[in-house]
Amino acid sequence: MSFLRHVKLRVPSGSARPGPAIGQALGPLGINMAEFCKQFNEKTESMYEKGTPLGVRLSAFSDRSFKFDVRSPPTSYLILKAAGMEKGPAQPSPERASGYITPEAVYEIARLKQKDEMRWHLPLEGVARSVVGTARSMGVQVREAQDDLEEGKSVEK
């Protein structure tokens, strides 16, 4: 059983199905797509809301066996969800905000992202700054809740 290669996929949690997207990645490696989908769905159905896109790093072996690691959802997906938006603007602009999230939401997203394999060693503040940068590039501003703004306590970052 020698290592063949790694494959990166983006699969919706709890609802993976054998199809063209997964088939094109796993077919050439000789991996049973139905078995991958079954194992993935079992592992993710209790972790996240059904349909949440998750990153998967699959390691394929020469005897057609595999193992996989599930990563957190993309930062952009989490930001859109926190802002209550279905999709981002066609042309984001820092001057014209298309949505807002609170600093608390930024830290919740950062805490979730920090659990990923590649970020466990990074300080929470650094991950949070990265989340703010991603939000800004999407045209989503970080500010206090709407009721605080009405009282004149605007805190914009």
Q: What is the DSSP secondary-structure string of 73-100?
A: PPHHHHHHHHHT-SS--SS--SSS-SEE
The pTM of the full predicted model, rounded to 2 decimals, is 0.78
pLDDT number for residue 155: 43
Mean pLDDT, each 10-residue run in order, the chain (157 residues): 83 86 85 88 86 89 88 90 79 70 90 82 88 87 65 43
Residue 75 token pair? 């930062």
- The answer to whether the CB of 92 falls within 8 A of the CB of 137 is yes
Backbone angles phi, psi at 10, to 5 degrees: -120, 115
Q: How many residues does the chain have?
A: 157
Q: What does the alpha-carbon distance between residue 23 and residue 49 come to, in Å, rounded to a whole number?
A: 24
